[in-house]
Chain A
Amino acid sequence: MPLTGTADVDALAQGRPTMPTLHTPPLALPGAEVVQVLYEMRRAGRETLVPPALHPTNPATLWVLAWHLPESPYGPFDAVHLRVGCRSGARTRGFVTVTALSGSPEAARHLADDWGFPVRPAEVAFGRRYDRVTLDVVADGRPVLAFEGVDPDPLGAQDLEYTASLNLAHTERGVRIVQVEARYEIHRAERLRPRNLTLDGAWWGNDLLRPAFPITASVAHADMKIPALRFVCRPDVPAHEGSEPLSTPRS
């Protein structure tokens, strides 16, 4: 039968952010450095990583999406989202397990309260050399993620795709999957050959979150914008039943 998520929603919702409102105004994040890393995971247990509203990909995939943001309304900050590749209905999405964030406690609060990102404090370090890009996350005094992508290869802006993130959060409508559709105006893009990705699955939400086979990685320079939320979804039923459009906020 078609794959569906089987994660227990109540257990998954523990510790997730509480959003005072779903009508957050758009957020502009200019001059971002965006690193995206894609690995296959083992298929065993993949359906347990996402709620019943979603279904995992075949093969199971793990996406690291990292933002190095020199400018924001909350000051500079870095964020690394670990996402499980999934589908909401027929749509391509990434279900965020944890967002590691450093540099701005105010940004941490806003990403959680305004957009539902499951933020955990960490030290995030981006590195860029001529022939490689590195990403390191340290938390609780130990490394929880390390990545190295080598041999940057220029791409056209239209060759890169970013998928919307899905955050499980407590909202005024109850526990909902919040769809965050960040937009990227890409000025420079390069494909990377992923050489090493190590991560501590338990810190990122589940021991099953283990990279098994590298697919690709990329780095881009982009102006980012997170527009107002348009959709949330009940986590316990398929998206075509549980999707809830949000009314457009008056600006």
Chain B
Amino acid sequence: MYVRAVEFGIFFELSTPWWPGAAGIERLVYDNALEQARLADELGFDVVWAVEHHFLEEYSHSSAPELFLTAIAATTTRVRVGHGAVICVPGINHPVRVAERAAVLDVISGGRLEFGTARSSTWTELGGFGIDPDSTKKTWDEFVRVLPGMWADGPFEFDGIGFSMPERNVIPKPLQKPHPPMWVTVTSPGTELDAADRGLGCLGVASAGFAEQERRTLEYHRRIQLCDPVGAVNEKVATLNYLHCHEDRAIGATKGLEILGLFRTVNAHLLSTREAYPTRAYQGNGLAHLVPTRIDPGDPGSGPPVPEGAAVGDPASIIRAVKHWESVGVDQINFLVNANEVLPQAEVLASLRMFAREVMPAFGKGA
């Protein structure tokens, strides 16, 4: 069995309560997130991730994560900065610009960059940029194969499907050698195999429950042993979770469900590619979420159930959940700690402090 000390991260979607004339709210969301990241650094969290999304009102106002992460890198010293996932579609990000921005972030952070890749799963985004959904898997594959080459010493040239370029030296080079750890966002079942085949870390943003996660993780680790790596192998499995830690289990669970319920509602507004555009290239509807426990998918009245393994409640219940995730091979658990500012910042910070004080030591972690 593959076992490694579990890592803890915060996953920033920068979801934002939004209405016409909501001046100042985005500033508040960003300020609060930056404060959470600084506290995470002090408390001994391992990583903070920031997603890239476009046009996803309320769900995620994180359209320039490299800037947000630069601010974090400049005000922290230990926590790793997760640029993830970058949308690896040439019509949204040219691969050279992706390589350049990531390298700068690695340099500024002193070699603390984790680099996630994705291809966008909503028509809201792809349609906005005029992207053909049929093409994104091909171009993502091209991206992950060329980026290590661009980050390597010396010039790079490429003749591909999504883009081509003559010989140029892409600069600067990242501080980490041969390059920062690379990941792929996994929403649909099967993408973990794409990750394994390429030697990429598995950045799960949709949890499948303990049994399914264990099955997928075992298959991932089996398969990555046979991989044809695109660069340095990153054999880690991360999963997404919700966090609200409170001394009173019921209060912790209730607050956690507030985060989950609101995040799920704003998620539902969006138009997934799978729903809008029939294509073999999108087999899942995934955006970041925890798959609900078994409920009738036809029932519009079904509210947010407590997903299996959600880190909401008191420290003891959260320790149990984390140990379970650890036991099924998860290396890193990334937490959503608020959604649309439904919880006051003071409660979010208190939850993080209690988690660090009461939960992290059970896993040999903490400042």
Contact A2 B269, CB 8 Å, known A179-B300, A243-B300: yes
Chain B residues whose C-beta falls within 8 Å of the C-beta of A59 in the assembled complex? 123-124, 127, 271
Q: Which one of A1, A85, A179, A189 lies within 8 Å of B271 (CB-CB)?
A: A85
Interface assignment of A161: CB less than 8 Å from any CB of chain B = yes
Interface assignment of B280: CB less than 8 Å from any CB of chain A = yes
Nearest Cβ on chain A to B138's Cβ, whole angstroms = 16
Chain B residues whose C-beta falls within 8 Å of the C-beta of A128 in the assembled complex? none
Chain A: residues with CB nearer than 8 A to chain B?
Answer: 1-3, 38, 40, 55-59, 61, 85, 87-93, 155-156, 159-161, 163-164, 179, 181, 189, 191, 213, 215-216, 218, 230-231, 233, 239-245
Query: Max chain B CB contacts within 10 Å: which of A3, A88, A93?
Result: A3
Q: How far is the CA of A189 from the CA of B265 in the complex (A)?
A: 32
Contact A89 B301, CB 8 Å, known A2-B262, A215-B123: yes
Tell me whether B279 and A159 are in contact (CB under 8 A). Answer: yes
Tell me whether A90 and B301 are in contact (CB under 8 A). Answer: no
Nearest Cβ on chain A to B224's Cβ, whole angstroms = 28
Chain B residues whose C-beta falls within 8 Å of the C-beta of A230 in the assembled complex? 298-299
Chain B residue total in the interface (Cβ 8 A): 34
Contact A57 B298, CB 8 Å, known A1-B17, A90-B264, A159-B280: no
Q: How far is the CA of A7 from the CA of B58 in the complex (A)?
A: 22
Instruction: Give the 7 A-B residue pairs with the shortest CB-CB distance, closest first.
Output: A243-B301, A88-B300, A239-B300, A90-B268, A89-B300, A87-B268, A58-B269
Chain A residues whose C-beta falls within 8 Å of the C-beta of B123 in the assembled complex? 59, 215
Q: Which one of B270, B297, B301, B340 lies within 8 Å of A58 (CB-CB)?
A: B270
Chain A residues whose C-beta falls within 8 Å of the C-beta of B19 in the assembled complex? 1
Q: How far is the CA of A243 from the CA of B270 in the complex (A)?
A: 22
Contact A91 B269, CB 8 Å, known A1-B17, A216-B276: no
- Give a binary string over B293-322; 1 marks a CB under 8 Å from any A CB, 0 the rest: 000011111110000000000000000000
Tell me whether A91 and B274 are in contact (CB under 8 A). Answer: no
Tell me whether B298 and A231 are in contact (CB under 8 A). Answer: yes
